Chain A
Amino acid sequence: MLKQWRWLMLVLTGLTLFGMILYWYLSADQSSLQASSVPNNLFVNGHEPITPIPLDLKLDVHKVALGKRLFHDPQLSSDNTISCAYCHNLTNGGMDSLPRSFGIGGKEGVINTPTVFNSGFNYRQFWDGRATSLEEHIDFPNSPIVNSCDMGARWDEIVASLDMDVDYYRDFAAIYPEGIQPSSIKDAIATFERSLITPNGKFDRYLRGDKNALDNEELIGYSLFKNLGCVTCHQGMNVGGNMYEKLGLFKNYFENRGNVQESDYGRYNVTHIEEHRYEFRVPSLRNVALTAPYFHDASASTLEEAVAIMGEYQLGVDLSDDEIAKIVKFLNTLTGLYQEDTSK
């Protein structure tokens, strides 16, 4: 066989092999668009207005651990003084118990910091619902990080400073192929935040079947909660957090309170539809006993106060003290347990 023929054969074979490998590689590199693991029927758990939160979300422990570090890392603020935990204090019910939080340079925020616990179950983040996910809420305009009021950092700076840390570098590299990027930072923090659930509260146990979890008064409080119509808005797994509603249905709340500010416009600030003025995302009532002061403007410093205001403005009902007390008793049962996964 002439030398030149042998060479040609080799070349052709090589090309063919190469082509096949290339094809295999390309075809293997498809992002999995398999059918989602979404359940066929999303319409479950409808018989009770409130459902218990899951015990375990099965999140990536490495991401959670990394996110936890980041959550507590003041490097994420532009002056390296404030971390997420500063306002969303995990030992304090996930918030700082202040009417308004203070950001960089001691600047006061414009709105009451909501709790970070169970925030993963809220369908929107922020009082005005401008963020549709925890990831989004990290870098939304006026978000904690980017808002000069709060954390005021810029992504480049953050990435740069995280890059210099050997441990961050290593951990990010281990989990995220893209390394230290805003997307991966957000993903880690959000994953951690999602892990901040408080299952196994009294009421959850009751919902799961433990009939003895609630005492009489608490039960009465629950039925009051239902019958008075509180439950119409504060429903779902997170006892709220899944709809908008106007504050001041039967009376003009803001007129009565006075000193109306931009932060009071709520949903209107996002949609600019008049109808949506004074509408807020209904907050979750889980762990509400721990998260005073209440309402976006922190106008109620006790739960009793809050319940009274709600009854007056939202239900048009003048609640008796006894009713309030019972309801408050019930609300206390919504406090759950945060169990950090220390198995890492």
Chain B
Amino acid sequence: MKMFAKRHFVKKGTWQMLLFGVAAIVLLILFFEAQPVDPNKHNALISDLRELQKRDTELGEAVLQSHYQLHHNYDGVVAIMLRIQEIFSGIAKHQEIGLLPYSPEVMHELDILRQQIEQKSVALEDFKSHDAVTKNSLLYLPLQVNILLAGLPESQHDTFELLLRDILLITLNQGELAHDSLKKHINLVDRNIPNLPESVQAFAELVSMHAMTILSNHGEVSELLEQLNSQGRDGFGTKLEQLYLKHYQVGQNNAAAFQLLLLLLAMLMLGYAIYLYYQMIEREDQLRIAATAFETQEGIIITDANSNVIKVNQAFQKITGYSSEDLLGKKPSMLKSGKHDRKFYIAMWESINSTGSWQGEIWDRRKNGEIYPKWLSITAAKDASGAVTHYVGTHTDITERKAAEAEIEKLAFYDPLTKLPNRRMLTQRLVTALASSARSSLIGSLLFVDLDNFKTLNDTLGHDVGDILLQQVAHRLTSCLRVSDAVARLGEYDTVARLGGDEFVVMLEDLSAQKFDAASKTKIVGEKILATLNQPYQLGTHEHHCSASIGATLFSDHQTSMEELMKQADIAMYQAKKAGRSTLRFFDPRMQETVDSHAALESDLRNALVQQQFQLYYQIQVDNSHHSLGAEALIRWIHPERGFVSPAQFIPLAEETGLILPIGRWVLETACAQLKAWEKNALTSHLVLAVNVSAKQFHQPDFAAQVKATVQRYDIKPNQLKLELTESMLVDSIEDTIAIMDALNKVGVQFSLDDFGTGYSSLQYLKKLPLDQLKIDQTFVRDIATDNSDKAIVKTVIAMAHGLNLDVIAEGVETEAQRQFLLDEGCMHYQGYLFGKPVPIAEFEVSLK
């Protein structure tokens, strides 16, 4: 989280911080601008201006009062003038503090005011000086006149009286007339002074002087009075006051406007703050939600673009066992289990890089080493430009789920009691087996195994005991299958299932391509099962015997449906029960028969050797001049009841059951004995006896030794013994074959290749094998007279044999034409009905004569 904040927030944050800073400064500015004029200062200025006017009026009054002797000293007017000057300088201070603006109008008015005040000041001074003088004179003149008149005769009084009258008029402001008159009278007085008695001359002079003083000063004093009483054009500073008030009003209005602006801005900011607050709350909520979401039950891991872990949640730590410290800074690959190959991870990353995400099951390793499966989802988080900034992985530990799934599977497909596959699974496997069988053409079989009298057991001993029995049965059944039996060829493709109750099913697959073969194998398995199940069971304290009934049916392809098969097996099982229990029955009765007869034959065959039911018959082999060369010994089985049993019937069975070995040994011994017997007779001493050897016999490890031993035992000429091999036994292990043949060749025994051309003919064999003779099969010989192909083949075989320096003998020569042809082609030796059938020894020897 810190890493997020550092880079991104600083960028955005600086911008916003700047904005807020500017807003704060603007707010402060507005705040100061919005200050209304301090009412105290405003009132002070207004009161000063008003006082100025008042004092001005007061001055005028005071001056008048002084003049008219209502006030007897000048302290008052001086004080008022001082006050006016004080107020004026005070107004300058108002200007200094910004209350009164420095506008031109104001400055002009202040100038005017200053001039007015100065003028008044000067006028006042002048007034005082002149007024004092005039006052004194006015006061003194009448006194002096009195003294003067006292010393003057009445005749000379008028001038002075007139003088006094003039003075009075002047004081009453009677203008020019009085003025001139006074002047005249003063002049008169002056001129008359020398005429006056000396005692009063001084007084007269004084009177004249005082009158003169009054005359000259009075006008001025009046003027000064007027000047000091005038209020100027507009009164003292009225204009100034108006200007100020206007300015004040404007200022107040401005202040109000700024206040409004301030309020507006403050409201805006408040609104914005609220908005941000709610945004913040929301973001906090989201953060909280994210944090909550983060701490879910799912493990979450966040890495940077380089796959370095930056955060893991609790769940992740719990699931993996790694703590946050263990993982931080490392790569998630440290959790690899090693269960997935490189391709898996490459594909995963490809998906992430191309689509931006990947989901899937992955096995990881816990800290304690335990490997566990998890369902992982990886998403690439991209920024605005589309570049990957982080990878986010969420996973759930699906160990339990998988276990549950397995459990469900188990429950769904397995019988809980016996742990065997249940009906459902069997059905599935059966379907698969049918398909597989159809493909491979190999036949399989289905065996229904039903326990006999199980219900009774359940009722008497209880269900618990019954369950134990079932379990033991299941165990035995599976053990049957596990043991690999050379006879019963069983393995991984077999199934044992429990259908329910006491019913079990065994499915055998790929038994054989042959129906009968498959059937016999089935029988074998079935009997094994019966045998195993028949063993006593230890059920707690009880020993219990239980047998089973088995119903079997074969399947090979889709011709029979699965349900049909099940039904068949079921029916067969009931047949088995009906037949007396503890037995196996096939569904197909013919099959059953076949199986039965086959089984009978087999058991007879086993006895045959002991019972000496075998005989060797001999079929003569001649050359072109009808001389006997030898004979082929053919085994015959004469059963007391069956009569002659065709070798075609019992030979395969012998080979199948392994009885061919003792039989083959018997054949060999009998043949050697016979040769020995023939040695004595000149008629027969040259005869070569050919004996058929089965592949099984031949590939016995001690075959060569055995033959050698037998030859030696009977002390016969080895080269009179010819072993006939068929092509089929040459398919496998050609090297072994050669080795054996070589070994016997050394002994001197002859080899003949029987049925050449009918099986896996390979010219390589001819080249490699130390053969002595080649036998042309009767199937070719039969139609050489008519069939051109056969003709060609025979011709070729003969030629080839000659070419390879091998003897060649034709089998199944029955007509002269055949013989003739063969002779024409160069085949000198013949065997067939034309010359003689296989007959017992006695008859054979007779035929030689």
Q: How far is the CB of A292 from chain B (nearest CB, A)?
A: 25
Provide the residues of chain A in CB contact with B72, threshold 8 Å: 46-49, 231, 235
Q: Which listed residue (B9, B32, B140) contacts A316, Cβ 8 A?
A: B140
With the chains together, A245 CA to B75 CA distance in Å?
15
Q: How far is the CB of B269 from chain A (nearest CB, A)?
A: 9
A36 and B86 contact, Cβ closer than 8 Å, known pairs A43-B71, A229-B140, A236-B73: yes
CB contacts under 8 Å to A, within B66-122, are 70-76, 78-80, 82-83, 86, 90, 93-94, 97, 122
Q: Which listed residue (B27, B125, B202, B280) contacts A244, Cβ 8 A?
A: B125
Q: Number of A residues contacting the other chain (C-beta, 8 Å)?
A: 53
With the chains together, A64 CA to B48 CA distance in Å?
31
**By the criterion CB–CB under 8 Å, are A232 and B17 in contact?**
no
CB contacts under 8 Å to B, within A1-40, are 1-2, 4-5, 8, 11-12, 15, 19, 23, 27, 30-31, 33-36, 38
Q: Which listed residue (A11, A35, A279) contacts B47, Cβ 8 A?
A: A35
A46 and B206 contact, Cβ closer than 8 Å, known pairs A30-B41, A243-B128, A245-B132: no
With the chains together, A218 CA to B126 CA distance in Å?
32
**By the criterion CB–CB under 8 Å, are A33 and B40 in contact?**
yes
**By the criterion CB–CB under 8 Å, are A232 and B38 in contact?**
no
**By the criterion CB–CB under 8 Å, are A244 and B32 in contact?**
no
Residue among A15, A35, A232, A242 facing the most chain B CB atoms (10 A cut-off) = A232
With the chains together, A270 CA to B209 CA distance in Å?
29
Q: Number of B residues contacting the other chain (C-beta, 8 Å)?
A: 57
Specify the chain B residue showing the minimal Cβ separation from A271. Answer: B122
B44 at the interface (CB under 8 A from A): yes
B267 at the interface (CB under 8 A from A): no
A51 at the interface (CB under 8 A from B): yes
With the chains together, A49 CA to B139 CA distance in Å?
15
B847 at the interface (CB under 8 A from A): no
**By the criterion CB–CB under 8 Å, are A33 and B45 in contact?**
yes
Q: Which listed residue (A8, A12, A42, A242) contacts B58, Cβ 8 A?
A: A42
**By the criterion CB–CB under 8 Å, are B135 and A232 in contact?**
yes
Q: How far is the CB of A149 from chain B (nearest CB, A)?
A: 27
Q: How far is the CB of A36 from chain B (nearest CB, A)?
A: 7
**By the criterion CB–CB under 8 Å, are B13 and A236 in contact?**
no
A233 at the interface (CB under 8 A from B): yes
**By the criterion CB–CB under 8 Å, are B20 and A123 in contact?**
no
Q: How far is the CB of B221 from chain A (nearest CB, A)?
A: 13
**By the criterion CB–CB under 8 Å, are A249 and B75 in contact?**
no
Provide the residues of chain B in CB contact with A227, threshold 8 Å: 139
**By the criterion CB–CB under 8 Å, are A318 and B202 in contact?**
yes
B28 at the interface (CB under 8 A from A): yes
A237 at the interface (CB under 8 A from B): yes
Specify the chain B residue showing the minimal Cβ separation from A249. Answer: B133
With the chains together, A264 CA to B140 CA distance in Å?
28
A164 at the interface (CB under 8 A from B): no
With the chains together, A5 CA to B44 CA distance in Å?
47
**By the criterion CB–CB under 8 Å, are A34 and B79 in contact?**
no
Q: Which listed residue (B35, B45, B76, B97) contacts A43, Cβ 8 A?
A: B76
Q: How far is the CB of B726 from chain A (nearest CB, A)?
A: 97
**By the criterion CB–CB under 8 Å, are B65 and A8 in contact?**
no
With the chains together, A306 CA to B752 CA distance in Å?
196
Provide the residues of chain A in CB contact with B742, threshold 8 Å: none
Q: How far is the CB of A162 from chain B (nearest CB, A)?
A: 28
A44 at the interface (CB under 8 A from B): yes
Q: Which listed residue (A4, A237, A250) contacts B9, Cβ 8 A?
A: A4
B636 at the interface (CB under 8 A from A): no
Provide the residues of chain A in CB contact with B527, threshold 8 Å: none
With the chains together, A228 CA to B139 CA distance in Å?
9
With the chains together, A82 CA to B435 CA distance in Å?
145
Q: How far is the CB of A308 from chain B (nearest CB, A)?
A: 16
**By the criterion CB–CB under 8 Å, are B209 and A30 in contact?**
no
With the chains together, A43 CA to B136 CA distance in Å?
22
**By the criterion CB–CB under 8 Å, are B135 and A19 in contact?**
no
With the chains together, A46 CA to B90 CA distance in Å?
28
Q: Which listed residue (A1, A35, A279) contacts B129, Cβ 8 A?
A: A279
Specify the chain B residue showing the minimal Cβ separation from A232. Answer: B132
**By the criterion CB–CB under 8 Å, are B24 and A12 in contact?**
yes
With the chains together, A47 CA to B73 CA distance in Å?
8
**By the criterion CB–CB under 8 Å, are B73 and A46 in contact?**
yes
**By the criterion CB–CB under 8 Å, are B44 and A34 in contact?**
yes
A232 and B136 contact, Cβ closer than 8 Å, known pairs A4-B13, A46-B73, A316-B209: yes
Q: Which listed residue (A23, A27, A41, A229) contacts B31, Cβ 8 A?
A: A23
Specify the chain A residue showing the minimal Cβ separation from B287. Answer: A2
With the chains together, A5 CA to B277 CA distance in Å?
10
A235 and B74 contact, Cβ closer than 8 Å, known pairs A249-B133, A316-B206: yes
A33 and B44 contact, Cβ closer than 8 Å, known pairs A8-B17, A249-B133: yes
**By the criterion CB–CB under 8 Å, are B86 and A46 in contact?**
no
Provide the residues of chain B in CB contact with A237, threshold 8 Å: 73, 75
B794 at the interface (CB under 8 A from A): no
**By the criterion CB–CB under 8 Å, are A242 and B75 in contact?**
yes
**By the criterion CB–CB under 8 Å, are B41 and A33 in contact?**
yes
**By the criterion CB–CB under 8 Å, are B94 and A250 in contact?**
no
**By the criterion CB–CB under 8 Å, are A33 and B35 in contact?**
no
With the chains together, A46 CA to B74 CA distance in Å?
9
Q: Which listed residue (B38, B45, B58, B206) contacts A27, Cβ 8 A?
A: B38
Q: Binary interface profile of A, 299-333, with partner B (CB < 8 Å = 1, else 0)?
A: 00000000000000001111000000000000000
Provide the residues of chain A in CB contact with B44, threshold 8 Å: 33-35
Provide the residues of chain B in CB contact with A30, threshold 8 Å: 38, 40-41, 97
Provide the residues of chain B in CB contact with A318, threshold 8 Å: 202
Residue among A227, A250, A275 facing the most chain B CB atoms (10 A cut-off) = A250
B62 at the interface (CB under 8 A from A): yes
Provide the residues of chain A in CB contact with B467, threshold 8 Å: none
Provide the residues of chain A in CB contact with B17, threshold 8 Å: 8
Q: How far is the CB of A223 from chain B (nearest CB, A)?
A: 13
With the chains together, A228 CA to B70 CA distance in Å?
19
**By the criterion CB–CB under 8 Å, are A31 and B93 in contact?**
yes
**By the criterion CB–CB under 8 Å, are A5 and B65 in contact?**
no
Q: Binary interface profile of B, 17-56, with partner A (CB < 8 Å = 1, else 0)?
A: 1001000100110011001001011001101100000010
**By the criterion CB–CB under 8 Å, are B78 and A242 in contact?**
yes
Q: How far is the CB of B44 from chain A (nearest CB, A)?
A: 4
A183 at the interface (CB under 8 A from B): no
A246 at the interface (CB under 8 A from B): yes
A50 at the interface (CB under 8 A from B): yes
Provide the residues of chain B in CB contact with A315, threshold 8 Å: 136, 140
A1 and B280 contact, Cβ closer than 8 Å, known pairs A35-B47, A243-B132: yes
Provide the residues of chain A in CB contact with B202, threshold 8 Å: 318
A45 at the interface (CB under 8 A from B): yes
With the chains together, A7 CA to B48 CA distance in Å?
50
**By the criterion CB–CB under 8 Å, are B280 and A2 in contact?**
yes
With the chains together, A30 CA to B98 CA distance in Å?
11
With the chains together, A245 CA to B32 CA distance in Å?
55
With the chains together, A235 CA to B73 CA distance in Å?
5
Specify the chain B residue showing the minimal Cβ separation from A43. Answer: B76
With the chains together, A251 CA to B75 CA distance in Å?
28
A229 and B135 contact, Cβ closer than 8 Å, known pairs A51-B73, A315-B140: yes
A34 and B80 contact, Cβ closer than 8 Å, known pairs A15-B24, A51-B75, A249-B213: no
A244 and B35 contact, Cβ closer than 8 Å, known pairs A8-B20, A46-B73, A229-B140: no
Specify the chain B residue showing the minimal Cβ separation from A314. Answer: B136
Residue among B27, B73, B79 facing the most chain A CB atoms (10 A cut-off) = B73
With the chains together, A19 CA to B262 CA distance in Å?
14
Provide the residues of chain B in CB contact with A242, threshold 8 Å: 73-75, 78, 128
**By the criterion CB–CB under 8 Å, are B58 and A33 in contact?**
no
**By the criterion CB–CB under 8 Å, are A245 and B40 in contact?**
no
Provide the residues of chain A in CB contact with B206, threshold 8 Å: 250, 316-317
Q: Which listed residue (B32, B38, B83) contacts A38, Cβ 8 A?
A: B83
Known: A232-B132, A317-B206. 13 other contacts (CB 8 A): A11-B20, A19-B28, A23-B31, A33-B97, A34-B40, A42-B55, A43-B71, A46-B72, A228-B140, A243-B74, A245-B133, A315-B136, A318-B202
The 9 closest A-B pairs by CB, nearest first: A229-B136, A46-B71, A235-B73, A243-B128, A33-B44, A236-B75, A49-B72, A236-B73, A232-B132
